[in-house]
């Protein structure tokens, strides 16, 4: 299966739910205030977010008023243009700084953070980069064990301390090891215990400071991993982490298991944080660069 087909298959639940509702609103009906109001409700319930919805609806009313849109086909073409306008240009994940390029991965427990790190390490290794994974979620022995398995599978090295040790010390050692060994990338795992969120955010701030001490300018990417199936909760998490530590990019996991892929638009519109990576399956190659044009096409093509 090709890359686009895989994405289209992964978005099938979102597409079916969203297009089905849009069809019900517009199919065979006059485009007027009533149908536009119904369409607004569809956008809101599809997790596209209040700000993105308001922009789409305001622009739609204007184009209907001016006679640019006369039928359902016109609405679909308009929707494609609007979605692409909101998402903007692709901002994929790339190593762009001096080496080692340090990626700090954050997110609450259960979003697929460890798996995302493993897949990212595998991808970088396949591209010819050397990688060190820092097992800085020292609160869960299982997380360290999981990362060891991923490191073995992906060809990455791992830096770990014993369970319960200082997460910042692990990150510091990993960056120092990468510098000494001439390694291209360091990916730092972190804890995600949200029920103790104030200490967690303080811990993440400390991690950033310590990484920067080991290498000025690092981390070069602070990547928030969020689970697409949680819808608006993913937006709340993104806002909270961004306010606390400054997120530079998002990896959106489990898009293949949800009808809530619209959250991509809410995150971009309300927080202006680029979605860099999306997970569309269980396979090691199913962590993809987020390309807005492909995403919108896969979402709107029946």
> Would the pTM of this model clear 0.75, i.e. be above it?
yes
pLDDT value at position 219? 97
Exposed/middle/buried for 198, CB within 10 Å: 0-12, 13-18, 19+?
A: exposed
The pLDDT tens digits of the residues spanning 260-282 come to: 778 889 999 999 999 999 988 77
> Which backbone phi and psi does 140 adopt, to 5 degrees?
-120, 110
Percent of the chain with pLDDT over 70: 96
């Amino acid at each position: 299966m090709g890359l686009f087909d895989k994405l289209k298959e992964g978005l099938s639940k979102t597409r079916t739910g969203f297009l089905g509702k849009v069809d019900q609103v517009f199919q065979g009906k006059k485009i007027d205030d009533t149908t536009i109001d119904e369409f607004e409700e569809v956008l809101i319930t599809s997790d596209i977010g209040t700000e993105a919805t308001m922009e789409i609806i305001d622009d739609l009313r204007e184009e209907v008023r001016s006679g640019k849109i006369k039928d359902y086909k016109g609405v679909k073409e308009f929707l494609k243009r609007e979605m692409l306008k909101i998402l903007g240009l692709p901002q994929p994940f790339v190593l762009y700084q001096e080496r080692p390029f340090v990626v700090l991965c954050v997110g609450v427990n259960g979003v697929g953070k460890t798996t995302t790190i493993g897949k990212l390490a595998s991808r970088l290794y396949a591209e010819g980069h050397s990688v060190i994974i820092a097992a800085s979620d020292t609160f869960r022995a299982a997380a360290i064990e999981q990362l060891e398995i991923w490191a073995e599978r992906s060809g990455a090295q791992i830096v770990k301390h014993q369970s319960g040790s200082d997460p910042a010390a692990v990150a510091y050692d990993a960056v120092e090891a990468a510098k000494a060994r001439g390694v291209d990338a360091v990916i730092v795992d972190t804890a995600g215990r949200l029920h103790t969120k104030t200490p967690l955010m303080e811990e993440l701030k400390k991690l950033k400071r310590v990484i920067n001490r080991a290498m000025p300018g690092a981390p070069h990417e602070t990547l928030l991993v969020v689970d697409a199936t949680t819808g608006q909760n993913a937006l709340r998490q993104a806002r909270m982490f961004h306010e606390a530590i400054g997120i530079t990019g998002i990896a959106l996991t489990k898009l293949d298991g949800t009808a809530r892929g619209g959250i991509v638009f809410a995150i971009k519109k309300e927080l202006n944080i680029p979605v860099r990576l999306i997970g569309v399956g269980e396979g090691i190659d199913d962590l993809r660069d987020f390309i807005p044009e492909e995403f919108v096409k896969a979402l709107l093509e029946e």
